[in-house]
Amino acid sequence: MKLNSRMLTLVLALLVIFAVPVAAASEWPNLAGETVNVIALWSGDEQRSFEAVLARFSELTGAQVVYSPTPDNMATVLGTRVEGGNPPDIAILPNPGLVKQFARRGFLVPIEEVTGDLVDKYYAPVWRELGSVDGELYGVWYKAANKSVVWYNTNIFAEVGLEVPTTWEEMIEAAEMIDFFGITPFSTGGGSSWVLTDWFENIYLRTAGPEMYDKLVEHEISWTDPSVIEAFEYLKQVLGRADWLAGGVEGTLEATHPQGIIKPFLDPPQAAMAYGADFSVSAIQTETSAVVGVDALFFPFPSIKGSPGAVVGGGDAAVMMKDTPGARALIRFLATPEAAEIWAARGGLTSPNQGVDLSVYPNEIAAASAKALQEAEWFRFDLSDLVPQEFGSTAGTGMRGGFQEFVRNPDIEAITSQLEKDAQKAY
């Protein structure tokens, strides 16, 4: 009996040792010899990080993954490849508008049965909605951007003796104090118009709420609606004050986002706060000597009228363009926390995946951004990416031209009626 129990222990031990890898392997099919083609916008550092993620996938499945970065204009590139009969297996699309456009044109394969369970398990419902077209799931949001952050120079805040503002009123009060102290309160890289439209979107989400936000996206309410005017009144408190903007009106309109975001962190600082995004960190790190996390920090875009945690963001969704075993396995893999954690740990990725352990992020800033994204009670995608391109993302016209004009001439009636006119043409 003694011997037997020892044998049993041995057998059990062997079972434990071998069973774990066997079980793990069984989650992913053996795809040795298969090739999966992936296309995305990421190049440089982002490409290296993404390739590390793909390498792990190859390790798990044996499949070979060929990644091709396309520098720009995903719509044209993919449209051409589909027409030429050579779509990639997986594409990473930079906004829900493209997901919708491609799904309706029949370019995409629905992925409900492939990875719907993981999306339900790891993602807030808003991400399922953003990845769905006409009730059918097509996209997995692998990467996200938190565009509800205000960067600030901690040294100036300390010198002025300011607390980090949590409400709009506190932020305006802080701005007044900073101005009195002798520094221009805000810097805005308005030469990149998305910075200006994002200011508005953040305010509108907070003053009007997510339902109204959705209605504005669909143009179910007009741009002259009282809710829009109210948001502009808040916006005017900052963008309407040339003396509160580093470089005044012209300096704001000349500076691109990276040029604007670094102004609080130059020596001497040209501003105290700058509206930006979590990804602004790279501009601050490369262009200034400020230490991110010490000299440069951000606070979440402040609450207005008691609004709960709200995030306006962007993101990249993986979609399946060919129904192959390799494509199925990869898109399922991209929905797992593991796939996100590999890149998150390397820095530069904020994941909307709630299964991702916040401790993997390389610094507090990245973790705070991801936390805000995970915990946001209201999350909405960047409005200018959701409206028709002609209105939302064509330089010099529609929203992009309109908001820059608002900086020159902060006349609420003029901008709202102009936006309404442009919107009517585009919808």
Half-sphere exposure of 102 (CA within 13 A, CB side): 36
CB of 127 to other proteins, least distance (A): 26
Site for other proteins in 143-172 (CB under 8 A): 159-162
Task: Choose among 168, 245, 204: nearest CA to 384.
Answer: 204
Dihedral pair phi/psi, residue 197, rounded to 5°: -65, -35
Residue 338 binding other proteins, by CB under 8 A: no
The sign of the dihedral angle between the CA atoms of 231, 233, 234, 240 is positive
Task: Choose among 317, 320, 307, 314: nearest CA to 378.
Answer: 307
CB of 254 to other proteins, least distance (A): 5
Contact with other proteins (CB under 8 A): which of 397, 411, 417, 420?
A: 397
Q: Take residue 232 and report the two structure tokens written for it.
A: 């502009």
CB of 393 to other proteins, least distance (A): 5
Contact with other proteins (CB under 8 A): which of 144, 208, 253, 271?
A: 253
Contact 264, 270 (CB under 8 A): yes
Contact 377, 384 (CB under 8 A): no
Q: What is the DSSP string of 341-407?
A: HHHHHHSS-B---TTS-GGGSSSHHHHHHHHHHHH-SEEEE-HHHHS-HHHHSSTTSHHHHHHHHHH
CB of 181 to other proteins, least distance (A): 6
Q: Is 322 left (phi over 0), alpha (psi -120 to 50) or beta?
A: beta
Cβ-proximal residues to 65 (8 Å cutoff; 6+ apart), any chain:
35, 36, 37, 38, 54, 55, 57, 58, 330
Bridging pattern class, strands 149-153 and 296-300: antiparallel
CB of 126 to other proteins, least distance (A): 26
Task: Choose among 370, 190, 141, 150: nearest CA to 280.
Answer: 150
Choices 3-11, 176-184, 273-281, 295-303 (CB under 8 A): range interacting with other proteins: 176-184
Nearer to other proteins, 64 or 389 (CB): 389
Choices 54-62, 106-114, 174-182, 327-335 (CB under 8 A): range interacting with other proteins: 174-182
Contact with other proteins (CB under 8 A): which of 112, 214, 225, 390?
A: 390
CB of 283 to other proteins, least distance (A): 15
Site for other proteins in 69-108 (CB under 8 A): 73, 75-76
Half-sphere exposure of 352 (CA within 13 A, CB side): 31
Nearer to other proteins, 75 or 358 (CB): 75
x/- letters, 189..218, toward other proteins (CB under 8 A): -xxxx-------------------------
Contact 308, 148 (CB under 8 A): no
Residue 277 binding other proteins, by CB under 8 A: no
CB of 153 to other proteins, least distance (A): 12
Residue 394 binding other proteins, by CB under 8 A: yes
Nearer to other proteins, 49 or 101 (CB): 101
Choices 26-34, 54-62, 181-189, 345-353 (CB under 8 A): range interacting with other proteins: 181-189
- H-run or E-run covering 116: helix 112-122
Contact with other proteins (CB under 8 A): which of 27, 45, 233, 250?
A: 250
Q: Take residue 302 and report the two structure tokens written for it.
A: 């402040």
Q: Burial code of 215-254, b = ≥16 C-beta within 10 A, e = fewer? A: ebbebebebebebbebbbebbebbbbeeebbbbebebbbe
Choices 9-17, 183-191, 277-285, 293-301 (CB under 8 A): range interacting with other proteins: 183-191
Contact with other proteins (CB under 8 A): which of 87, 165, 185, 251?
A: 251
Contact with other proteins (CB under 8 A): which of 154, 353, 393, 416?
A: 393
Contact with other proteins (CB under 8 A): which of 115, 146, 307, 404?
A: 404
Nearer to other proteins, 78 or 208 (CB): 78
Contact with other proteins (CB under 8 A): which of 177, 242, 358, 367?
A: 177
Nearer to other proteins, 347 or 388 (CB): 388
Q: Take residue 99 and report the two structure tokens written for it.
A: 């997901």
Counting every residue written for the chain, the total comes to: 427
Q: Is 417 left (phi over 0), alpha (psi -120 to 50) or beta?
A: alpha
Positions in the binding site for other proteins (CB under 8 A) = 73, 75-76, 159-162, 177, 179-183, 190-193, 247, 250-251, 253-254, 256, 268, 389-390, 393-397, 400-401, 404, 407
